[in-house]
Structure 1
Amino acid sequence: MTSAEASRRPGRLGVGIVGAGKVGAVLGAALRSAGHAVVGVSAVSEASRERAENLLPGVPVLEVPDIIERAELVLLAVPDDALPTLVEGLAQLNAWQAGQLVVHTSGRHGTAVLGPARAAGAIPLAIHPAMTFTGLSLDLGRLPDSMFGITAPSAVLPIAQALVVEMGGEPVVIEEESRALYHAALAHASNHLVTIAAQSAQLLADLGVQHPDRMLGPLMKASLENALSSGEGALTGPVARGDAETVRAHRAALEAHDAPDTRQAYLGMARATALRALERGVLTQAQAEAILAALADARGTGGPPGPPDRASGPPS
């Protein structure tokens, strides 16, 4: 569909973007491609102004109250912790309008955080894309493969679903009380993957490997693809094999190397892997106990948790 055809469709809205960060600018561009008119964007830093210019050319950069005044749909794309203060501050300015759609992109929050806007008659929607953003146009091509976690009052849930579909994504309803756990799951998968990759690359670089990314890339990509297709049945390595002496050698090498954050991450993830492998029958009780003993901290910061009783399940 061309932009001209989209603009003639019914239900097109004037959209205001508060926050031209990596998420806000991309979603604003996606809504614009669906035929909505972006009437204004807030951009404070030089990077956000450049992002707005590249992804939302011709859209005026405005102050936040001016955006709220002009927009039929306000997209709040600000950090999670900044969202409550922003919503309440705009309510104190009497900025929110009755019938106005107010959408935030926070993973952590549902619609309760939009209470001050709702009290003024606005319609609250939480729409969170379950993907990582670069803030570049290539992100627009990733939206069709993405799911969005949405939360909204039942009467207006179809609006949130329609907006996601227009942006090319797939909406998945997340209950209000489940938003924090939902967000924790995504952060654990995405953010910690980046940390693990960076830590492993640093260890290899410390050993003199010239291109750690080339060594890790095929391994990590294959591991991720296998994990997503086969679940924990794809698990390999010394923990899954019960190779306690190899795990002990890993721990000793990490203790001798000046990378305490990597050491703690390895120990924590190896313990979690051993406990899950025991629970799923990959390891025997004896193998799990040997792995956990090998992971015991020789520096005295606390030993590993005891392996769970197979009948009672893992510790909470």
Structure 2
Amino acid sequence: MTIAVLGAGRLGSVLTRALRAAGYDVSGPLRREERIPDVDLAILCVPDAAIGDAAASARPHATRIAHVSGATGLDGVDLSIHPLQTFTGTEPPEVFHGIGAAIDGRTEADLALAERLATSLGMNAFRVDDAHRAGYHAAASFASNFVLAVLDAAEELANDVGVERAHLVPLVQRTVENWAASGAAPVLTGPIARGDARTLARQRAAVDEHAPHLNDLFDDLVNATRALASRTPATTAITTGGAESTVSEGNDV
């Protein structure tokens, strides 16, 4: 099967290398001004807003057209393959191995082609139809883009008190590992999980002092974390120095 990859951005670049490594005959990644060859499949690695125009340009040259958007439906294309991963564009072809891929197709043959391509790159394919694309992509944004916004806020506050990003990394990594193994509610720790209103108030005052532009984000995350805490396992009462206190099970921060 001959393939043309349209779009030389992060995903277009690494996808082209991976497809070649998997044995496909690939042209590209092609930039907007480059001629599109006649191929069996054109894969559009372009911004969502440009998919319609790119599909129209590719249609005379391709038997089938695919896009790699997570949020966009099948308007103008025959199939879609969205690698559920973040890319810099410099990764080796093996970056696709073991990741998820949301696929869809207009016909059973289109869907089968999407699954075959995803599998040949080492991805685990699952179907997400047009009606659920926006919700699926919102989940991906929470898992990646919004996480980076929260981590950037953490880094800003840490830097202000002389703590480097590297010192936060093990905490972030362990948190993700715990979530991957058990989900969020069972592994939640911290002042909200243990009902420590005094510490939470001190945190809020520190944010207001050092980074007041983060106040709204802090308040929203506190509310979301309180809702999560309501689903956590029961806490354990322990006695220390003759006084009983209640703490969440497990290590805390």
The alignment's TM-score, normalised by the length of structure 2, stands at 0.85
Residues 279-290 of structure 1: pairs in structure 2 closer than 5 A: 279=231
Contact 1:15 1:71 in 2 (8 A): yes
Structure number having the greater helix percentage: 1
Counterpart CA distance in 2 for 1:224 and 1:150 is 26
Q: Does 1:268 align with 2:231?
A: no
What secondary structure sits across from 1:219 in the alignment? Answer: helix
Counterpart CA distance in 2 for 1:221 and 1:281 is 22
Residues 133-148 of structure 1: pairs in structure 2 closer than 5 A: 133-138=87-92, 140-148=93-101
Deviation of 1:39 (Å): 2.4
Of structures 1 and 2, the one scoring higher in RCO (CA 8 A, sep 6+) is 2
Task: Provide Cα deviations, 1:102-133, integer angstroms capped at 9, x if missing partner.
Answer: 1101010121x22xx5xxxxxx1110000011
**Which of 175, 199, 203 in structure 2 is aligned with 1:250?**
203
Counterpart CA distance in 2 for 1:98 and 1:141 is 29
Contact 1:18 1:75 in 2 (8 A): yes
Counterpart CA distance in 1 for 2:168 and 2:146 is 16
Contact 1:27 1:167 in 2 (8 A): no
Contact 2:7 2:30 in 1 (8 A): yes
One-letter amino acid matched to 2:174: A
Deviation of 1:43 (Å): 3.1
**Which of 100, 104, 107 in structure 1 is aligned with 2:63?**
100
Counterpart CA distance in 2 for 1:98 and 1:86 is 12
Counterpart CA distance in 1 for 2:80 and 2:19 is 15
User: What do you get for the CA RMSD once the two structures are aligned?
Assistant: 2.0
The residue that corresponds to 1:71 in the other structure is 39
Say if 1:259 and 1:79 are closer, same or farther in 2 by CA, change over 3 A: farther
What secondary structure sits across from 2:81 in the alignment? Answer: strand
Contact 2:160 2:210 in 1 (8 A): no
Counterpart CA distance in 2 for 1:276 and 1:87 is 43
Say if 1:175 and 1:146 are closer, same or farther in 2 by CA, change over 3 A: same
Deviation of 1:257 (Å): 2.0
Say if 1:280 and 1:81 are closer, same or farther in 2 by CA, change over 3 A: farther
What secondary structure sits across from 2:26 in the alignment? Answer: strand
One-letter amino acid matched to 1:248: A
Contact 1:110 1:152 in 2 (8 A): no
Counterpart CA distance in 1 for 2:94 and 2:28 is 23
Deviation of 1:279 (Å): 4.6
The residue that corresponds to 1:193 in the other structure is 147
Query: Which runs of 5 or more structure 2 residues have no equivalent in the other structure?
Result: 236-253
The residue that corresponds to 1:18 in the other structure is 6
Deviation of 1:18 (Å): 0.9
Contact 2:157 2:211 in 1 (8 A): no
Q: Does 1:130 align with 2:110?
A: no
Query: Which runs of 5 or more structure 1 residues have no equivalent in the other structure?
Result: 1-12, 45-61, 118-123, 284-316
The residue that corresponds to 1:173 in the other structure is 127
Deviation of 1:87 (Å): 3.0
Structure number having the greater strand percentage: 2
Deviation of 1:280 (Å): 5.2
Counterpart CA distance in 2 for 1:282 and 1:177 is 38
**Which of 36, 48, 55 in structure 2 is aligned with 1:80?**
48
Counterpart CA distance in 2 for 1:279 and 1:203 is 28
One-letter amino acid matched to 1:18: L
Task: Provide Cα deviations, 1:234-253, integer angstroms capped at 9, x if missing partner.
Answer: 11011111111211111121
Task: Provide Cα deviations, 1:152-202, integer angstroms capped at 9, x if missing partner.
Answer: 124221111000011111101112100010000011110111111111111
The residue that corresponds to 1:4 in the other structure is none
What secondary structure sits across from 2:70 in the alignment? Answer: coil
**Which of 214, 225, 229 in structure 2 is aligned with 1:277?**
229
